């Protein structure tokens, strides 16, 4: 196989609300700590990538064209002289968020390659679940927002023995949560979320709430309705200020508020292991696998059809 070292194909945002594949994107040089991989599938992030797609994340300084993607699944073609944890032929999840080293994570054989990229989003959730919320067996955790990260956070809490109730405004996402075994679902577009939750839990519960919508008003609502001693994880990407009066909100009700962002290779590896063991079901999270050549339509659908699409994976095998 001839390895191209100067140019590659990639999704490019050439302007606001428009993605397309360019086949002449310059490749950075590989050094002794790097690895060169051939991308087979990439998973679209509804959070960060759509914030860039709409121009919100870095507005007003965001410029086009730009490269938005960061979740790739591929085959290792070559490794640098100092790389010992990978070899050519390995299948890996890789991300430019891991830093300037070969941080690709090997994929267990029991994890389908087309679904493996979800593990990186699952690692974002794992960061908050394992290190901040720390759910215990028998506790009740309420997860608000059932995009991919919310679904993964809920399943990770379930894997740790917690009773998990979820809420969203899109019924298709709640259907996915019911399929993997959520203990309760609430359609917040059709009912009073807190009244519905009260009917599902005992007094003083939930023990923890994970807010994943990224909407400041929803997080404020969570803070105002959480029971005493509740642990709250702000897991969304909040692009607007949040009003928080600490004495009455946190001190007065003994709440714990935490927030995390990002992931590390070891977190991705932990999530892949949970997937391989069947403790997390991601089959319903990838709504469709589309050819990478149809990236323009894929991004449009994710943006315009949240009630139909959880996320989409792009198939790069023809490039």
What is the model's pTM?
0.93
Same domain, 254 and 291: no
Instruction: Give, in order, the Cα–Cα distances in Å from 83 to each of 26, 46, 125.
Output: 23, 32, 28
Q: Pick the closest to residue 115 from 146, 75, 73 (CA basis).
A: 73
pLDDT tens by residue, the chain, 319 residues: 556 678 999 999 999 999 999 999 998 888 888 888 999 999 999 888 998 999 887 666 678 899 988 899 999 999 999 988 899 999 999 887 655 445 689 999 999 999 999 999 999 999 999 999 999 999 999 999 999 999 999 999 999 999 999 999 999 999 999 999 999 999 999 999 999 999 999 999 999 999 999 999 999 999 999 999 999 999 998 988 888 889 988 999 999 999 998 888 999 999 999 999 999 999 999 999 999 999 999 999 999 999 999 999 999 999 9
Same domain, 289 and 249: no
DSSP string, 192-248: -HHHHHHTTS-TT--SEEEE-S--HHHHHHHHHHPPTT-EEEE-S---S-----HII
Q: Provide the 8-state DSSP code for 131.
A: I
Same domain, 141 and 239: yes
- Tell me, yes or no, whether 202 lies in a domain: yes
CA triple 227-235-229, angle to 5 deg: 20
Cα distance between residue 118 and residue 304, in whole Å: 21
Same domain, 203 and 96: no
- Confidence (pLDDT) at 1: 54
- Tell me, yes or no, whether 268 lies in a domain: no
Q: How far, in whole angstroms, is CA 78 from its chain's centroid?
A: 28
Q: For residue 75, what are its two tokens? A: 């085959």
Same domain, 143 and 89: no
Strand partners, 8: 25
Same domain, 304 and 248: no
- Tell me, yes or no, whether 112 lies in a domain: no
CATH code assigned at 232: 3.40.50.720
> With 0-12 CB in 10 A as exposed, 13-18 as middle and 19+ as buried, what is 113?
middle
Cα distance between residue 201 and residue 204, in whole Å: 8
- Tell me, yes or no, whether 118 lies in a domain: no
CATH code assigned at 311: 3.90.180.10
Domain tally, the chain? 2
Q: Provide the 8-state DSSP code for 179.
A: H
Decide if 303 contacts 54 (C-beta within 8 A): yes
Taking the CA atoms of residue 30, residue 34, residue 35 and residue 39 in that order, the dihedral angle to the nearest 10 degrees is -80
Answer with the one of 241, 259, 277 that is the final residue of a domain.
259
Which residue range is the domain that position 139 belongs to? Answer: 124-259
Cα distance between residue 123 and residue 120, in whole Å: 5
- Tell me, yes or no, whether 191 lies in a domain: yes
- Confidence (pLDDT) at 104: 85
Cα distance between residue 245 and residue 258, in whole Å: 15
Q: Pick the closest to residue 253 from 229, 220, 231, 219 (CA basis).
A: 229
- Confidence (pLDDT) at 276: 97
- Tell me, yes or no, whether 32 lies in a domain: yes
Same domain, 131 and 254: yes
Same domain, 199 and 95: no
- Tell me, yes or no, whether 276 lies in a domain: no
Q: How far, in whole angstroms, is CA 248 from its chain's centroid?
A: 32
- Tell me, yes or no, whether 111 lies in a domain: no
């Amino acid at each position: 196989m001839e390895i191209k070292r100067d140019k590659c194909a990639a999704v490019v945002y050439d302007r606001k609300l428009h993605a397309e594949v360019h086949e002449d994107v310059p490749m950075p040089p590989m050094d002794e700590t790097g690895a060169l991989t051939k991308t087979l599938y990439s998973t679209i992030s509804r959070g960060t990538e759509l914030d860039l797609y709409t121009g919100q994340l870095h507005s007003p300084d965001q410029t086009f064209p730009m490269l938005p993607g960061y979740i790739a699944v591929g085959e290792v073609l070559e490794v640098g002289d100092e790389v010992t944890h990978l070899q050519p032929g390995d299948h890996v999840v890789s991300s430019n968020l891991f830093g300037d080293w070969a941080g690709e994570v090997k994929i267990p054989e029991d994890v389908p390659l087309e679904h493996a990229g979800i593990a990186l989003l699952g690692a974002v959730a794992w960061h908050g679940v394992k290190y901040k919320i720390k759910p215990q067996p028998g506790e009740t955790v309420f997860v608000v927002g059932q995009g991919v990260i919310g679904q993964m956070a809920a399943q990770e809490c379930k894997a740790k023995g917690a009773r998990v109730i979820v809420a969203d405004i899109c019924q298709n996402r709640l259907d996915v949560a019911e399929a993997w075994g959520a203990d309760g679902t609430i359609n917040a577009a059709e009912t009073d979320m807190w009244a519905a939750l009260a009917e599902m839990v005992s007094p003083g519960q939930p023990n923890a709430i994970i807010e994943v919508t990224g909407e400041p008003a929803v997080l404020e609502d969570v803070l105002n309705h959480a029971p005493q001693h509740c642990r709250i994880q702000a897991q969304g990407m909040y692009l607007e200020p949040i009003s928080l009066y600490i004495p009455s909100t946190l001190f007065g009700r003994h709440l714990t508020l935490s927030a995390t962002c990002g992931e590390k290779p070891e977190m991705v590896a932990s999530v892949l292991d949970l997937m391989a063991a069947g403790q997390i079901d991601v089959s319903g999270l990838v709504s469709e696998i589309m050819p990478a050549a149809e990236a323009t339509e894929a991004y449009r659908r994710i943006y315009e059809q949240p009630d139909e699409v959880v996320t989409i994976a792009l198939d790069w095998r023809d490039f």
